[in-house]
Structure 1
Amino acid sequence: MKALLSSRPVLWFLFLFNAAVAAAAPFVVDGTQGNMTGVGMGVVSLGAGGALLRGGRRATA
């Protein structure tokens, strides 16, 4: 499962999908729930983007 989640296509999907949801959530869902959904999805998107910048796969020890 770890190898699947660290593959480049999955990281791109996580980055783009979660960024889109983070941008849309505050407008679709009212109030605090929409804001917190946007923040949470944004954090996941930033994590996937960071993994893409690092090279996608980590060396196993």
Structure 2
Amino acid sequence: MKALLSSRPVLWFLFLFNAVVAAAAPFVVDGTQGIMSAVGMGVVSLGAGAGLVRGRGHRKAAAV
């Protein structure tokens, strides 16, 4: 399962999907629930983005 979640296509999907949901949540859901949804999805998106950046540096080092 870890290999699937750390693959580049899955990380890109998690990053983009969660970023879009985080941007739209405060407008779709009212009040505190919309804000907390945006924060939660934003954290997941940032985690996936960090995985993409970390994986990119690791792949360059392995190719050298």
TM-score greater than 0.5 by the shorter chain: yes
- Structure 2: where are the runs of 5+ without partners? 59-64
- Structure 1: where are the runs of 5+ without partners? none
Alpha-carbon offset, residue 10 of structure 1: 0.0
Kindly indicate which of the two structures has a greater share of residues assigned to helix.
2
Point out which structure has higher relative CO (alpha carbons under 8 A, 6+ apart): 1
> Does residue 1:28 correspond to 2:6, yes or no?
no
What is the match of residue 37 of structure 2? 37
Count matched residues: 57
Alpha-carbon RMSD across the aligned residues, in angstroms, is 1.2
Superposition pairs for residues 8-19 of structure 1, below 5 Å?
A: 8-19=8-19
TM-score (norm 2): 0.86
- Larger Rg, first or second structure (1 or 2): 2
> Does residue 1:6 correspond to 2:6, yes or no?
yes
